[in-house]
Structure 1
């Protein structure tokens, strides 16, 4: 908003010499001299009296010096006021969170988005992992909550919400810490023979269906499967009590303290991202578009 050579000029005056000004500005004395010469030429005014003892202001230079300090101070105040106004216009995005719907993956991707991050602010709203409550929330997404982190390929999402995939998370196995497999660093699918895995019902999540088919083939139908509509905290408690396994991924690793989430020797990955309303507000749509740019 002002000629930045004025900063150099003010520094020279207050330091008393080109050399001391250069030290304060972390540039060379020659660069300081050049900037002052350019400023004097631009203004058509001699600003400084130079001598071996340093510099002093000319009468004209004193007028410029006093005015420049006022200009810079006022300019900084204007910029600060504009920034405060921008801050006040931040769009608030209400994020539904629970043990099963962590916001960590969202933040990991959003924090890469330095430019757009300043335009939005998150407000975290606790939600229920109960199946009926969750479906009801999805049916009314946008009323009290704008977005939720979740898997993005589930069949129950169609017609209810929009889904935006942020990443593909390797599918893990959640193993009770008392289970023999809990000591493994990685599990071979053939080690699942005679184990019981609790899974979402068939046709519910394509990734899970593919894993089911693979395990059934490799383990020759020796793996038992029990189905639930949706994983809840109670599902983890049942699996813990009965020493059964669950499918998992990075976003669910902190769901229950009594489970280890262990990689498996397979290439299955779960699409994961955010859910947002079928008819989003312009603020939410702007957020999703900004998230998609990721930079």
Structure 2
């Protein structure tokens, strides 16, 4: 039922089976089947199907107002069932990868975990693959509850919530046999005549600003645009071709054959915890505990 409610919310908001399917990363046929089943279960038509899109019946409009709350109540009911079954520990599933390491979360949690013995952290590995990462981000809450990492996509509000914990500075990564690798820091002018790989499959406004700044003020840099998400293949290709890569300070140890150097670019990207749009009670409480710890550190 919770999948049907979530699908109905997406259909109602987008006015289209295909657009809802894209957001949910399923087929339009699967969306239509879920909506047909939902209407059969509630016993009244909820959707108006036309060649120009999907509208809501009066019953559908009324149902839309309550669907998000029903979804939340459903997830809370699951938590109560676990408690009724005398589950001793609340498991928080944390996704981790080379580019999205969970260390930033564990460093915070390890300081206070003794105060909350009911929580257990379960680490789940996933691959940094530009072709599967969109699915990974869109299904946060399915295979794991939280991912810690930089926020490099602009449409995240459609798929997950974010608890910001700070920001990372942008840097440049160069092959260790590159003449620039001997420098301790890089000036943007050092890149004049170089090919700079700029990865922006997530349509990040911060990366767009850097690219526009370089095009406007440093046309001597040969910018190579990559319309995909960061993954290990990007780092490998830069090492193989001798290109410079726009990267983050947090990824300094990702590739042993690349030297990540600080630079005079005054740009940052936020990082934090990505968690479901409709988190369970225990996940929401866990996020609040981590946030309280982070705020205490900042004071």
Shared fold, TM over 0.5: yes
Q: Which moved more, 1:164-173 or 1:223-232?
A: 223-232
2:208 paired residue number? 209
Give the count of matched residue pairs: 208
CA distance in 1, matches of 2:216, 2:116: 46
1:160 paired residue number? 159
1:270 paired residue number? 269
The structure-2 alpha-carbon separation of the partners of 1:133 and 1:180, relative to structure 1 and needing over 3 Å to count, comes to same
1:23 paired residue number? none
SS of equivalent residue, structure 1 residue 155:
coil
- Deviations 1:200-248, CA, capped at 9 Å, x for gaps: 2377111111211222233135332232311111111111111112222
Contact kept? 2:170, 2:246, Cα under 8 Å: yes
- Deviations 1:260-288, CA, capped at 9 Å, x for gaps: 11110122111011111111111111111
The structure-2 alpha-carbon separation of the partners of 1:153 and 1:224, relative to structure 1 and needing over 3 Å to count, comes to closer
Aligned pair 1:109/2:108, yes or no?
yes
Instruction: List aligned pairs for 1:98-247, cutoff 5 A.
Output: 98-113=97-112, 116=115, 118-152=117-151, 154-201=153-200, 204-247=203-246
The structure-2 alpha-carbon separation of the partners of 1:222 and 1:138, relative to structure 1 and needing over 3 Å to count, comes to closer
Contact kept? 1:147, 1:275, Cα under 8 Å: yes
Contact kept? 2:197, 2:225, Cα under 8 Å: yes
CA distance in 1, matches of 2:226, 2:155: 16
Q: Which moved more, 1:165-174 or 1:203-212?
A: 203-212
- Deviations 1:49-90, CA, capped at 9 Å, x for gaps: xxxxxxxxxxxxxxxxxxxxxxxxxxxxxxxxxxxxxxx844
Instruction: List aligned pairs for 1:33-52, cutoff 5 A.
Output: none
Question: If the length of structure 2 is used for normalisation, what is the TM-score?
Answer: 0.64
CA distance in 1, matches of 2:180, 2:124: 36
SS of equivalent residue, structure 1 residue 186:
coil
SS of equivalent residue, structure 1 residue 238:
helix
Contact kept? 2:91, 2:120, Cα under 8 Å: yes
The structure-2 alpha-carbon separation of the partners of 1:234 and 1:280, relative to structure 1 and needing over 3 Å to count, comes to same
Contact kept? 2:199, 2:246, Cα under 8 Å: no
CA shift, 1:105, in A, is 2.0
CA shift, 1:109, in A, is 3.3
CA distance in 2, matches of 1:136, 1:249: 23
The structure-2 alpha-carbon separation of the partners of 1:130 and 1:156, relative to structure 1 and needing over 3 Å to count, comes to farther
Aligned pair 1:253/2:249, yes or no?
no
Contact kept? 2:140, 2:160, Cα under 8 Å: yes
Contact kept? 2:168, 2:270, Cα under 8 Å: yes
CA shift, 1:170, in A, is 1.5
Contact kept? 2:93, 2:144, Cα under 8 Å: yes
CA distance in 1, matches of 2:237, 2:184: 24
The structure-2 alpha-carbon separation of the partners of 1:128 and 1:180, relative to structure 1 and needing over 3 Å to count, comes to same
- Deviations 1:124-155, CA, capped at 9 Å, x for gaps: 11112122322222222112211111222521
Contact kept? 2:172, 2:247, Cα under 8 Å: yes
Question: If the length of structure 1 is used for normalisation, what is the TM-score?
Answer: 0.65
